[in-house]
Structure 1
Amino acid sequence: MSGTGGAGTAKEAGRTGFSTPLTELAGVRYPIVQTGMGWVAGPRLVSAAAAAGALGVLASATMPVDRLRAAVREVKSRTDAPFGVNLRADASDAPERVRIIIEEGVKVASFALAPSAGLIARLKDAGVVVVPSVGARRHAEKVAAWGADAVIVQGGEGGGHTGNVATSVLLPQVVDAVDIPVVAAGGFHDGRGLVAALAYGAAGIGMGTRFLLTSDSTVPDAVKAKYLAATVKDVTVTTKVDGLPHRMLRTGMVDGLERSGRVSSLLRAVRHAAGFRRESGMSWAGMVRDGLTMKHGKELSWSQVLLAANTPMLLRASMVEGRTDIGVMAAGQVAGVIDDLPSCAELVERIMDEALATLRALPTAR
């Protein structure tokens, strides 16, 4: 099977648009996705990315259900451009969040984990475009068979939870395996990367760290400064946050987590679980249900499930409170090559100008 025909179908439409299967599906001007990052992708960043012509995606997993509706309405008040909402398919309240997405007329629903065939069908019946994120070819094949409209595939360079296969190897595998548009994520930050992704057959690129490092991001300035000061070697992968591979900046906090023993890790996880319960509005029963869902079909110990509570609260400490001494900073490897804080509008315009210039400079086959 063939993938998306990204490079073959992409066409220049002046500076008013750049058409690929992704832009046609989502109704956006440019084949760029601002991915849903917990505590980062709030209404201000999402509306700025959407207004700039990209697909802005609101992160909902770290907010209570009632806050989700308010956040969606805030984005709508800021821009008329299409945008999406990212949510966890395994969350116990996922059906309620899906209902809000449908009722509020959100264009795109993206998922950090594969949604069920029933959830996909419910969204599609309501006219919502469904775009799960995956990290393996088999996962892309599964959600495509279940009716997903497109898929975001993240290679090992990407920030947050990640795999160990580079985007340049994983992307063509997925493009060859499915017949739906594929969005490439992990390692992208400029127009050259967009052209490379299109050449592989992708329909666009997804970027998290690059949008985090914009003037429209609400991440504290002191935290952004730490990202800008980082080199490629300062970005590492650790399993000490929640038992799963997690790409982030190497800091004193991360070094401390790496040295911590099992008992101290579990005690810390219990404290953070309690904190996340208060922040998210979830009950202990709801968190246990989500933990059971996480364990289902996976080789996860109960200690790993409990450690998963570390992630949202450790990220919140840095991304919201600016406390990098007690928090962690998820980061793609591209953090080591980013050195400025443009607005979303400036960033998207720059990427598209670079992409068009790169396309024009490519040698002609003879």
Structure 2
Amino acid sequence: MAGRLNTRLTELLGCEYPVIQTAMGWVADPKLVAATCNAGGFGFLAGATIPPEEMEQRIIETKQLTDKPFGVNFHMYQPNAADIIEMVIRHGVRAVSYSRSPGKAMISQLKDAGVVCMPTVGALKHAVKAVEMGADVVTVQGGEGGGHTGAVPTTILLPQVIDAVDVPVVACGGFKDGAGLVAALAYGAEGIAMGTRFLMTKDSPVPAETLDRYVKVNNPAAVIISRSIDGMPQRMINNELLAQLEKAGPLKRLMMAVSSGLAYRKYTGMSIAQLFRSAIQMRSGGQMTAAQTIMAANAPMVIQKAMVDGKPAEGVLPAGQIAGAIDSLLSCDELINEIVRDAEASLERLCGTRG
């Protein structure tokens, strides 16, 4: 069976199965990443919500928990991005993932060191641009995915990207099991990436009170898209805080954003001047408005309330729509074994038993 699930992705990343655990802020810690990798998948450590002075220790801790290859996620506009790249190369981290604002020089530095560059995109044009910038793999997140997301469903976006690029493509948004993996492979993808499904595991560091809210959703329609957090579309479970923010005016949201930005500096190393300079640069680049850039600090800080402090009513609950179809918590080992078993059964139904 391992041969059937051996793809260009597993060859590049050195993992047994083409199942990726995405880098969710506050969630993708060394224990979850190691549990994923030890089970045969490939996990990404969330570097964007780790204070710069603690980043290297998290990489070392992950290496102590697994001898399997893993990846690190970060924003290439972080003030400590160059330091993270140096750590990734020095510690032999297999891959990096990132989203907006890629630096071509940084990507070249990583590729020259043999690090697999694997951005996540939510639009066809962004996928093409990412490959032009040097991406080795592209993760395509459809509108079903959690957190910041686009409007195009995975089933439409995925084949468009596969036809447009010549690097391995990973499907993300709406996946939880082996049948989904086989469906993605049938489209031409080389694997699947999941965030919500790994968040909802026994190996997740998310407090029990918050996990309980996820398990009790039981309705994909309750996982909505809102712009009230940072001005950009973000998919999350509807809750008390979100209801308050939807009613709040622009001034109240902006004041909250500035407060969050000051708190978020601990994790990015970004000064107030750098925060506003970044806003100006991204506005001039046409990627985000200045207000959206400032408000972007809202997301990680209000997510922290739920994911770290265990206060699901006071924080944001990012989730893919698939959360409404998950009603139990498995360990990473149980989850990946189940995915592989389900994939084998699906392939047998499609292809028949061969001697």
- TM-score, structure 1 normalization: 0.93
Alpha-carbon shift at residue 199 of structure 1 (Å): 0.2
Q: Secondary structure at the match of 2:54?
A: helix
Q: Which one of 292, 300, 309 corresponds to residue 312 of structure 1?
A: 300
Confirm whether residue 151 of structure 1 aligns to residue 138 of structure 2. yes
**Which letter does structure 2 place at the counterpart of 1:177?**
A
Q: Which range moved further: 283-292 or 48-57?
A: 283-292
Structure 1 residue aligned with 2:64: 77
**Which letter does structure 1 place at the counterpart of 2:2?**
A
Kept after mapping to 2: 8 A contact 1:91/1:290: no
Q: 1:294 to 1:39 in 2, by over 3 A?
A: farther
Q: Structure 1: state its 5+ residue gaps.
A: 1-11
Matches within 5 A, 1:68-217: 68-113=55-100, 115-217=102-204
Kindly provide the CA deviation profile for residues 235-274 of structure 1, in whole angstroms up to 9, marking residues without a partner as x. 0000000000000000011111111001111111122112
Alpha-carbon shift at residue 276 of structure 1 (Å): 1.3
Kept after mapping to 1: 8 A contact 2:282/2:290: no
Kindly provide the CA deviation profile for residues 141-175 of structure 1, in whole angstroms up to 9, marking residues without a partner as x. 11212221111010000000000000000000000
Q: 1:299 to 1:199 in 2, by over 3 A?
A: closer
Q: 1:248 to 1:81 in 2, by over 3 A?
A: same
Q: Which one of 249, 268, 284 corresponds to residue 237 of structure 2?
A: 249
Q: Secondary structure at the match of 1:113?
A: coil
Q: 1:194 to 1:114 in 2, by over 3 A?
A: farther
Q: Which one of 332, 335, 347 corresponds to residue 347 of structure 1?
A: 335
Confirm whether residue 29 of structure 1 aligns to residue 38 of structure 2. no
2:77 and 2:267 mapped to 1: Cα distance?
A: 19
2:14 and 2:214 mapped to 1: Cα distance?
A: 32
**Which letter does structure 2 place at the counterpart of 1:232?**
P
In the comparison of the two structures, how many residue pairs are matched?
A: 351
Q: 1:296 to 1:105 in 2, by over 3 A?
A: farther
Confirm whether residue 13 of structure 1 aligns to residue 2 of structure 2. yes
Alpha-carbon shift at residue 324 of structure 1 (Å): 1.8
Confirm whether residue 39 of structure 1 aligns to residue 26 of structure 2. yes
Kept after mapping to 2: 8 A contact 1:92/1:290: no
Q: 1:331 to 1:285 in 2, by over 3 A?
A: same
1:292 and 1:60 mapped to 2: Cα distance?
A: 24
**Which letter does structure 1 place at the counterpart of 2:333?**
A
2:132 and 2:253 mapped to 1: Cα distance?
A: 39
The CA RMSD over aligned residues, in Å, is 1.5
Q: Structure 2: state its 5+ residue gaps.
A: none
Kept after mapping to 1: 8 A contact 2:98/2:118: yes
Kept after mapping to 1: 8 A contact 2:78/2:270: no
Q: Secondary structure at the match of 2:5?
A: strand
Identity level (%): 47
Kindly provide the CA deviation profile for residues 64-85 of structure 1, in whole angstroms up to 9, marking residues without a partner as x. 2221111000000000001000
Alpha-carbon shift at residue 291 of structure 1 (Å): 2.5
Kept after mapping to 1: 8 A contact 2:209/2:311: no
Q: 1:296 to 1:40 in 2, by over 3 A?
A: farther
**Which letter does structure 1 place at the counterpart of 2:259?**
R
Confirm whether residue 282 of structure 1 aligns to residue 255 of structure 2. no
2:153 and 2:284 mapped to 1: Cα distance?
A: 27
**Which letter does structure 2 place at the counterpart of 1:266?**
L
Q: Which range moved further: 299-308 or 196-205?
A: 299-308
Alpha-carbon shift at residue 279 of structure 1 (Å): 4.7
1:138 and 1:279 mapped to 2: Cα distance?
A: 30
Q: 1:282 to 1:300 in 2, by over 3 A?
A: closer
Kept after mapping to 2: 8 A contact 1:92/1:289: no
Matches within 5 A, 1:51-62: 51-62=38-49
1:77 and 1:363 mapped to 2: Cα distance?
A: 41
- TM-score, structure 2 normalization: 0.95
2:335 and 2:221 mapped to 1: Cα distance?
A: 24
